[in-house]
Amino acid sequence: MLAKISQLGRDFLPADTRRRLKAVVDPLLATVGSVQAAKTATSVVALTFDDGPDATVTPQVLDLLRQAGARATFFILSDHAERLPQIVRDIVAQGHEIGLHGDRHDRLTQFSTSEVRSRLAVAKAAIETISGTRITLFRPPYGAQTLATYIIAKSLGLQTVVWGPYAEDWLDSSPEAAAAKVLGVVRGGEIALFHDGLELDDDAVRPALDRARVVELVLDGFKARGLTADTVSAMIDASGARKTGWFRT
């Protein structure tokens, strides 16, 4: 029901009206809220990457982060992690954070609660074994989440993390255009979404976009504006978490 109401709001309400409604509703849904930003003002932006690890792009992104003295959170898929375990260990060794994105890139809202629980539990355990770290953050593929899947993730010790500005780096655009979609709107305290891996629907055309170049441009833009890129946990540990009622199918 919450997912259907949320979808209706996105389909029929103007953006400004949605923002005002969100400001009223989010505090009421705080107990079932997903982390979307820092609670208090900060100069930090949480840089997040989905769908990895990727054999080509993830090492490039790690090099760029190292050069910039920046950190990020990587929401990874366990089937990718099992194929590329050394990259997962490199992410951790270089001071970044790992969160769970699932086993495969499926909309969990399409499966039974027992299957969702089993898949998340197995994926979480696999990534913890590979990375040697405890996984506490979760981002559902496609952002698809119902109250039931939220509760299941919570029961497994996972806090759902969603996002604010995003680069639309799954589209075939220039790196400059993709970076501008974030740099044009981002503020300190927000969670920005990028992709090091890229899982697409079966009928989608894979873009030729240089995703690492997008990250390079964004990091340069952050530096010019006095913003620091860090992990989700570091940002919310320092500034608290602003949560939103995020339910969509």
What pLDDT digit, counting tens, does each position of 133-186 carry? 999 999 999 999 999 999 999 999 999 999 999 999 999 999 999 999 999 999
The predicted pLDDT at position 203 comes to: 82
pLDDT digit string, tens, across residues 175-206 = 999 999 999 999 999 999 999 999 998 888 89
Residue 18 lies in a domain: no
Per-residue pLDDT, averaged over 108-120, amounts to 98
Q: What torsion do the CA atoms of 56, 62, 65, 69 make, to the nearest 10 degrees?
A: -160
pLDDT digit string, tens, across residues 10-31 = 555 576 775 666 566 556 566 7
Measured in whole angstroms, the distance separating CA 68 from the mean position of its chain's CA atoms is 20
pLDDT for residue 37 is more than 80: yes
51 catalytic? Reply is no
Report which residue type is found at 215: V
C-beta separation of 195 from 47 below 8 A: no
50 catalytic? Reply is yes
Residue 21 lies in a domain: no
Report which residue type is found at 105: H
Residue 5 lies in a domain: no
Measured in whole angstroms, the distance separating CA 199 from the mean position of its chain's CA atoms is 14
Residue 39 lies in a domain: yes
Per-residue pLDDT, averaged over 83-89, amounts to 98
| % the chain with pLDDT above 70 | 89
Higher-confidence residue: 77 or 204?
Answer: 77
Per-residue pLDDT, averaged over 214-226, amounts to 98
Q: Pick the catalytic residue from 50, 54, 169, 196.
A: 50
Residue 235 lies in a domain: yes
Class of residue 243 by CB neighbours under 10 A (exposed 0-12, middle 13-18, buried 19+): buried
Range list of β-strands (E), the chain: 34-38, 44-52, 73-77, 97-102, 137-138, 159-160, 191-195, 228-230, 241-244
Residue 6 lies in a domain: no
The count of structural domains within the chain is 1
C-beta separation of 98 from 88 below 8 A: yes
pLDDT for residue 110 is more than 70: yes
The DSSP secondary-structure symbol of 184 reads T
- pTM for the model: 0.90
Residue 169 lies in a domain: yes
The predicted pLDDT at position 201 comes to: 86
What are the beta bridge partners of residue 62? none
Residue 199 lies in a domain: yes
Rounded Cα distance between 13 and 15, Å, is 6
Q: Which domain holds residue 209?
A: 34-244
Q: Pick the catalytic residue from 80, 195, 196, 230.
A: 195
Binned at pLDDT 50, 70 and 90, residue 33 comes out as very high
Q: What is the CATH number of the domain that holds 108?
A: 3.20.20.370
Average pLDDT, the chain: 92
The predicted pLDDT at position 18 comes to: 58
